[in-house]
C-alpha cells in the first residue's frame, strides 16, 4: 500500500513537472502582462512583512514571478532562494534573472535534505501549496528549514465561481469531467498549519477576473489541467476559450477565492 501511494505521488509529481515545463514561457508572458502573482504576493506579505535582511525560500518559484517582490521586501542585505520541481520553469527564470538568485531544482513536497545553504527566516508558497500532492510533507520540510521564530507564508486558491456557481460545476453541467483544481485544498491544509505553525494569521481574498485575466490564467497549462485533468491541453484550451467567450458576452466576471496565511514557527 505504501509503495502504491509512493508510485501514485511520483506519477502526480511527474505530471505536474511536465505541465509546468511545457507551460514555462506562457507563465512568464502571463506574469509580464498582468503582474498577477506579484500583486498576490503583496497581499500575502501585508499580513506580516518579512524581516529586513532576512533569508527567504520561495517554494515553487517557477519562472520567478515572486523573486523580485521578495527581494524588495527583505532589502539589499537579504537573500532569496528559489526552488521548483520543473527545470523548464527554472530555465525560464535564469533567462530572466541570470545568476541574481540561487535557484534549486527539487521536489516541493520534500526538500529538507537539499543543500539549501542554511536556515531561512521565511518560507513562501505563493499560489503553490494547493497544487502539491503532499502538503504535510512540504510543510514539515518548511518547518525543518526555518530559523527559530521564522514564518511560513501561504496563498491558497480555494476556487473560482461564475454567478456564484463553482467553475467545475459549470463544466460538469456542460458534460465535461471536471477536476477541483486543488490537490491540497485548504480544508486539508488548515489543520496542518494549526498543528505545525500555531499562531497563524488568516485572511480571505478575492480576485475578479476580467476576460483577459480569465483567459490568461486558465489557459496556463497547469491551471487548465486542474479544471479538466482527463483531456489533452489542446482540447482544454478550446473549452476554456469557449467559456471565456460566453462569460464575456454575458458580462459575467468570474471570481477567484483565495486564503492568505502568515504564521510564525513555534519551537516544540
Q: Tell me which residue of 53, 261, 57, 230 sits closest to 154, measured CA to CA.
A: 261
Q: Tell me which residue of 44, 76, 58, 187 sits closest to 125, measured CA to CA.
A: 58
Task: Specify whether the CB–CB gap between 193 and 125 falls below 8 A.
Answer: no
Q: pTM of the entire structure? A: 0.93
CA distance 226 to 168: 10
Q: Tell me which residue of 133, 192, 151 sits closest to 44, measured CA to CA.
A: 151
Cβ neighbourhood burial of 105 (10 Å; 0-12, 13-18, 19+): middle
Ordered structural domains, the chain, with CATH: 2-159+180-208+256-264 (3.40.50.150)
Per-residue model confidence as pLDDT tens for the chain (268 residues): 556 666 666 676 777 777 777 878 999 999 999 999 999 999 999 999 999 999 999 999 999 999 999 999 999 999 999 999 999 999 999 999 999 999 999 999 999 988 799 999 999 999 999 999 999 999 999 999 999 989 999 999 999 999 999 999 999 999 999 987 788 999 999 999 999 999 899 999 999 999 999 999 999 998 998 899 999 999 999 999 999 999 999 999 999 999 999 997 655 4
Helix (H) or strand (E) holding 193: helix 186-196
Cβ neighbourhood burial of 72 (10 Å; 0-12, 13-18, 19+): middle
Amino acid at each position: 500500500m505504501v509503495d502504491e501511494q509512493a508510485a501514485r505521488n511520483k506519477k502526480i509529481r511527474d505530471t505536474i513537472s511536465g505541465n509546468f515545463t511545457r507551460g514555462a514561457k506562457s507563465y512568464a508572458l502571463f506574469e509580464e502582462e498582468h503582474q498577477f502573482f506579484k500583486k498576490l504576493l503583496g497581499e500575502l506579505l501585508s499580513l506580516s512583512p518579512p524581516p529586513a535582511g532576512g533569508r527567504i525560500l520561495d517554494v515553487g518559484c517557477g519562472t520567478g514571478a515572486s523573486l523580485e517582490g521578495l527581494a524588495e521586501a527583505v532589502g539589499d542585505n537579504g537573500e532569496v532562494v528559489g526552488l521548483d520541481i520543473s527545470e523548464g520553469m527554472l530555465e525560464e527564470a535564469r533567462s530572466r534573472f541570470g545568476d541574481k538568485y540561487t535557484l534549486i531544482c527539487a521536489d516541493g513536497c520534500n526538500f529538507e535534505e537539499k543543500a539549501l545553504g542554511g536556515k531561512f527566516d521565511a518560507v513562501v508558497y505563493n499560489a503553490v501549496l494547493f497544487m502539491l500532492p503532499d502538503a504535510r510533507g512540504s510543510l514539515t520540510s518548511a518547518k525543518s528549514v526555518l530559523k527559530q521564530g521564522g514564518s511560513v507564508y501561504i496563498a491558497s486558491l480555494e476556487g473560482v465561481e461564475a454567478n456564484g456557481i463553482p467553475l467545475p460545476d459549470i463544466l460538469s453541467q456542460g458534460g465535461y469531467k471536471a477536476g477541483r483544481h486543488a490537490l491540497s485544498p485548504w480544508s486539508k491544509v488548515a489543520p496542518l498549519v494549526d498543528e505545525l505553525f500555531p499562531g497563524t494569521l488568516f485572511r480571505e481574498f478575492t480576485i475578479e477576473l476580467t476576460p483577459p485575466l480569465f483567459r490568461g490564467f486558465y489557459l496556463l497549462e497547469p491551471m487548465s489541467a486542474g479544471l479538466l485533468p482527463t483531456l489533452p491541453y489542446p482540447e482544454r484550451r478550446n473549452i476554456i476559450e469557449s467559456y471565456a467567450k460566453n462569460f464575456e458576452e454575458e458580462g459575467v466576471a468570474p471570481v477567484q477565492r483565495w486564503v492568505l496565511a502568515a504564521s510564525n514557527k513555534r519551537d516544540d
